[in-house]
Amino acid sequence: MESTLLYFIDLFGTAVFAISGVLLAGRLKMDPFGVIVLASVTAIGGGTIRDMALGATPVFWVKDTLYISIILITCLLTIIVVRRPKRLAWWVLPVCDAIGLAVFVGIGVDKALQHQSSPMIAVIMGVITGCGGGIIRDVLAREIPMILRSEIYATACIVGGVIQTIALETDMNKDSALLAGILSTLIIRLGAIKWHLSLPTFALHR
């Protein structure tokens, strides 16, 4: 049984990722249906892939339709708030994405461990949960997925997932380990955004 804290963190992550989907849809001047689609795949895409991989049926948003309600409400409120003459700062979308990313990595690791997965598989499921929705969003929007850009992205997810699993191995409280993993991913990702941190690139010279 998921703790109340875990459940509300999951709902929070759903809302934040939905916001990032709405902001990208607005930047591309999509109609209301396009806004909802982009927000939805961003918010629940990664978790859907995770649940299908783990054999968790039905997937979380089919079992609990509050997730869909959160997405729809978030879409409406975000459209109302951002429809102002003032342009959004460049960092709003990546920061919203970073918050959702960190939250979903922690949720993914936790859910995989609930299904008796090994720590390594749990970290992989965390990365899928965090990055899957964003990949679908960016592909639909004809953008290069953030996970494939030069800035540190998936690496932040891996580090956060590893820290969470190690914390659990040291008998840390489940919620504390979750928060440690989330904060680790978030700090690394925000640092990458602010200072444009990236890993060395691989290039073949002809």
181 — pLDDT class (breaks 50, 70, 90): very high
Boundaries of every domain in the chain:
4-195
pLDDT higher than 90, residue 193: yes
pLDDT higher than 90, residue 3: no
Collapsing DSSP states into helix, strand and coil, what is residue 16?
A: helix
Average pLDDT, rounded, for the chain:
92
Do 129 and 102 contact (CB within 8 A), yes or no?
no
Residues 43-55 have pLDDT tens digits of 999 999 999 999 9
Mean pLDDT of 183-188: 97
Collapsing DSSP states into helix, strand and coil, what is residue 151?
A: strand
In 89-201, where do the E strands start and end? Answer: none
The burial class, CB within 10 Å (0-12 / 13-18 / 19+), for 133 is: buried
Residues 54-105 have pLDDT tens digits of 999 999 999 999 999 999 999 999 998 887 646 778 888 889 989 999 999 9
**How many alpha carbons fall within 13 Å on the CB side of residue 51?**
16
Collapsing DSSP states into helix, strand and coil, what is residue 30?
A: coil
CA 121: distance to chain centroid?
A: 17
Instruction: Please provide the distance, in angstroms rounded to a whole number, between the alpha carbons at the two ends of the chain.
Output: 56
pLDDT higher than 50, residue 162: yes
> What is the four-CA torsion angle of 44, 50, 56, 62, rounded to 10 degrees?
10
pLDDT higher than 50, residue 1: no
Report CA torsion sign: 70, 164, 20, 81: positive
